[in-house]
Amino acid sequence: MTIDGSLAQWRERAHRFEQEIEKAVIGQRRAIRLITISIFTRGHVLLEGDVGVGKTTLLRAVSRALGGEFVRVEGTVDMMPTDLLYHTYLADDGRPRVEPGALLRQADRLSVFFFNEINRARPQVHSLLLRLMAERSVSAFDREYAFPHLQVFADRNMIEREETFELPAAARDRFLMEIAVAAPRDEETRRQLLFDPRFHDPDALVRRVEPGSFDYRAVVDVARAIQEQVTASEALQRYVLRLWTALLDPAGASVSLPDLDVAHLVKGGASPRGLAFLVAAARVRAFLEGRDYLVPEDIREIFIEVMAHRIFVDPIYAMRGDEPVKRLCRAVFDATPTP
């Protein structure tokens, strides 16, 4: 491990990172904590929330505090995979030119890539994005471009259905978490957002964030060290295995919900990869809480964000959105004894 300082120092830097983001974004403390967990887990993120709640400002603030470069693209129905990679234009001599796009130009310095309205793009674009996420590399101009520090954030248009292409199960499973970014509920925060002029200028808000709370290029090593040093007791391991069993066979684990047929509810998605992501994210949560061992609360705190978007239910319940899955997750916790 090549890390400048101990994990304790990195914990302090992570907390300072969160404090810097809160200079630009208020009322989103839980979303900021979950994003911090995803960064040190090295996982990509789906963002869920209405338009106008500040998702782009949040990610710009994250990028500034993290260091590295930020790129945002808009999903459109006519977007092709090449549009992610190449910039085409007519030069002054009237001839067409093809040059690397913003993604390729930033490659090894890119830390945050925001794909807004990913479900407006066609499946061919999703395929390229999945390779970028999984391998952190793409081929272009007859060479390989590496993205060693890349973290992808994607937002879905959840309101309009026309000209949208829902992410397939395999694509959703590639994302570590789905994080809700909702409008703040407390009255004082809402008052500030409406009447304090500083919240009406996103550029000025982002400039309040001190750049580079830590070196984004060191996150890979820090993330590896967290996974190696945060331990899970045998009791905790049995607890996670019981949760997994209950998700796969809720009726067999005596889980019940009044208006759901839990015996036929889950059709897939509670995979080993999903549970491995869960444990990895829980280790980072423990690290941020100042422990080098897992407790059940670490699992509970991030369970819905890590698991809900990768559990697929019978189509008869799918029209109800993620509500049945979230209720199932809570019922599984209620039915599983805590060690």
> What pLDDT score does 244 carry?
92
Are 164 and 116 a contacting pair, CB within 8 Å?
A: no
Structure tokens at 129: 């994005």
Q: What is the mean pLDDT of the chain?
A: 89
Query: Judging by beta carbons within 10 Å of its beta carbon (0-12, 13-18, 19+), is residue 150 exposed, middle or buried?
Result: buried
Cα–Cα distance measured from residue 85 to residue 101, given in angstroms and rounded to the nearest whole number: 5
Distance from C-alpha of 148 to C-alpha of 137, rounded to nearest angstrom: 8
Record the tokens describing residue 209, joined without a space.
């964030």
pTM value is 0.91
Alpha-carbon distance values, 103 to 125, 129, 147, 220 (Å): 14, 11, 9, 20
Write the CB contacts of 246 (distance below 8 Å, at least 6 apart in sequence).
253, 255, 332, 335, 336
Residue 63 has pLDDT above 80, yes or no: yes
Span 244-254, mean pLDDT? Answer: 88
Predicted local distance difference test score (pLDDT) of residue 2 = 42
Q: Is the pLDDT assigned to residue 126 strictly greater than 70?
A: yes
Residue 179, amino acid: I
Helices (H) and strands (E) in the chain, counts: 15, 11
Q: Is pLDDT above 60 for 1?
A: no
Strand, coil or helix: 319: coil
- In sequence order, what are the residues at sequence separation of 6 or more whose Cβ sits closer than 8 angstroms to the Cβ of residue 174? 44, 130, 133, 134
Residues 6+ apart with CB under 8 A from 124: 80, 81
Give the largest CA-CA distance in the chain.
73
Query: Residue 161: what pLDDT?
Result: 67
The yes-or-no verdict on residue 71 having pLDDT over 70 is: yes
Beta strands, E only, the chain: 45-48, 69-74, 86-90, 96-100, 110-116, 137-140, 143-146, 151-155, 177-180, 266-268, 312-313
As a dihedral over the C-alpha atoms of residue 206, residue 26, residue 290, residue 302, rounded to 10 degrees, the angle is -110
Q: Is pLDDT of 19 > 60?
A: yes
The confidence band for 160, taking pLDDT boundaries of 50, 70 and 90, is low
Q: Which range (55-59, 75-79, 155-159) has the least confidence?
A: 155-159
Long-range contacts of 192-195 (CB under 8 A, 24+ apart): 192/26, 193/26, 193/27
Contact 231, 283 (CB under 8 A): no
Q: What is the pLDDT of residue 4?
A: 47
Give whole-number Cα distances, 47 to 56, 59, 74, in Å: 10, 10, 14
Question: Residue 271: what pLDDT?
Answer: 85
Domains, the chain, with CATH or none: 16-216 (3.40.50.300), 229-333 (1.10.8.80)
Query: How many whole angstroms separate alpha carbon 246 and alpha carbon 249?
Result: 5
Q: For residue range 209-220, what is the model confidence (pLDDT) as tens digits?
A: 998 788 889 999
Q: What is the pLDDT, as a whole number, of residue 5? A: 56
Region of 157 please: left (phi>0), alpha (psi -120 to 50) or beta: beta
* Mean pLDDT, residues 267-274 taken together: 83
Q: Residue 317 — pLDDT band, cuts 50, 70, 90?
A: confident
Residue 255 has pLDDT above 90, yes or no: no
Beta-strand relationship, 151-155 and 110-116: parallel
Better-predicted residue by pLDDT, 2 or 252: 252
CA distance 192 to 196: 5
Percent above pLDDT 70 for the chain:
96
Q: Is residue 292 classed as helix, strand or coil in its secondary structure?
A: coil
> Contacts for 157-166 with beta carbons within 8 Å, 24 or more apart?
157/117, 157/119, 157/120, 158/48, 159/50, 159/51, 163/77, 163/120, 164/119, 164/120, 165/119, 165/120, 165/121, 165/122, 165/123, 165/126, 166/119
CA angle 297/309/150 to nearest 5° reads: 90
